[in-house]
Amino acid sequence: MRIIQLLPSIAYGDAVSNDAMALQEALQRKGYETATYAENIDIRLSEKIAKKINKMPRLEKEDVIIYHMSTGTELNYRLAEYDARKVVIYHNVTPEHFFEGYSKRLQELCVAGIEGMRYLADKVDYCMADSEYNRQDLLKAGYGCKIDILPILIPFSDYKKEPESSIIRRYGNDGYTNILFTGRIAPNKKQEDIISAFYMYQKYYNPKSRLFLVGSYKGMQVYYQRLKRYVKELGVKNVFFSGRVKFEEILAYYSIADLFLCMSEHEGFCVPLVEAMCFDVPIVAYNSSAVGDTLGGAGILLENKNYLETAGMIEYIVKNEEIKERVIKGQRKRLQYFKHDRIEKLFLEYMNQFL
């Protein structure tokens, strides 16, 4: 019996790819015959990690395909044709309306992704969802098979690497309050709302503050340019867009951050929240999609999107050491839930039960 992982694209720094790579390691350690296949492979990845899908061997009935579903691709349809047992790990598909006016191509991709997800509803044998929110999505789409929740497997040992020192030298410990959000520049992540809340914070509470929006804007230039225009027209100072950064740079941004602010309106899991927990950065987040599931009672979850109140909350946490400590303590506790060994064990247990 072989366990094959299948995904449309595999690349460095992408949450779904990282999850697939971590699961592959877990399966290999357990002694399973396993391999990962993808349509598009980052050239920096060796063949040991992933191979092109056309190199996939002929599968037998007892073999298992674990398919990572996150976007619109032909694979959503091809999966049904394989003569093997099928497992879906659902990372969620962003609703297309977020991309309206920014990218027709992405809108179409999202529509195709949701159609593909619905198409597979009665064609797979078992599902794992990153969060309860994702599980609900599958149920709504008519999935009748067993669905377990498996948070993304995060290799926390990587976060112990040396952060990029130039960023720490430039922005660390200089009397400024650094607010951070990491993640692709994308309309569903609502970076404009982060900017609005930060504007209020800088205007009323703390002019000596910075906002770092760390993440690539590739494919989202129209939205990115609109955000930049917004920053300019608002007249808000010290808003930095990092663009695509190296992993060591991300670590540096977490190291200098005083608070992590998330105003996203669509997340299937939101790895950056767990990363912020890992770096003891207090989190303030708007309660939407899977954000509440991932926080699991940790951090500060806001029920309303009010920029002024959010700014007030930032000030309250940054200035109040006691509450900050309590938030961090809660986050540390929550982080235990996502511990690599625990999630890996959970995954292997789920697989055992399925097999």
Partner 1 sequence: MEEINVEEIMKDIRDDIRVKGYTEDMLSFKDVECVKDGVYEYDQEDYKQLLSDMEKRKTIPWYCELGQNGIRKFIKKFIRKSVGFLIAPITDGQNGFNSMVTDGFEQLAGFIENQKEELEKNRRYIIMLEEKIEEMQQEIETLKKK
Binding footprint of partner 1 on the chain (CB under 8 A)? 46, 101-104, 192-193, 195-196, 199-200, 204, 221-222, 225-226, 228-230, 233-234, 243, 296-298, 300-303, 306-309, 312-313, 316, 323, 326-327, 329-330, 333-334
Instruction: Select 52 or 146, whichever has its Cβ closest to partner 1.
Output: 52
- For residues 18 and 79, the answer to whether their CB atoms sit within 8 Å is no
Task: With both helix axes pointing from N to C terminus, report the angle between 221-234 and 191-200 in degrees, rounded to the nearest 10.
Answer: 10
C-alpha 262/C-alpha 294 separation (Å) is 12
| Alpha carbon distance 90, 76 (integer Å) | 12
Q: How far is CA 106 from the centre of its chain?
A: 18
β-bridge mates for residue 51, sequence order: 37
* Smallest separation, CB 6 to partner 1 (Å): 25
Tell the smallest beta-carbon distance from residue 29 to partner 1 (Å).
19
Q: How far is the CB of 16 from partner 1 (least distance, A)?
A: 24
Cβ proximity to partner 1, 115 vs 258, nearer residue: 258
> Minimum Å distance from CB 347 to partner 1?
24
Q: How far is the CB of 207 from partner 1 (least distance, A)?
A: 14
Which residue, 53 or 234, has its beta carbon nearer to partner 1?
234
Given the complex with partner 1, which of 140 and 246 has the nearer CB atom? 246
The identity of residue 125, as a single letter, is D
Please state the φ and ψ torsions of residue 56, each to the nearest 5 degrees.
Answer: -65, 130
Cβ-based nearer residue to partner 1, 168 or 301:
301
Q: How far is the CB of 228 from partner 1 (least distance, A)?
A: 7
| SS3 assignment, position 158 | helix
Closest CB to partner 1 among residues 8, 299: 299
What's the CA gap between 190 and 53, in Å, rounded? 34
- Distance separating alpha carbons of residues 226 and 235, to the nearest angstrom: 14
DSSP bridge pairs for 90: 69, 129
Cβ proximity to partner 1: between 87 and 313 the closer is: 313
For residues 212 and 253, what is the distance between their CA atoms, to the nearest angstrom? 8
Q: Could you tell me the smallest distance in angstroms from the CB atom of residue 65 to partner 1?
A: 27
**Bridging pattern class, strands 33-41 and 239-243:** unpaired
Structure tokens at 134: 């994702």
What CA–CA distance (Å, rounded) separates 93 from 8?
13
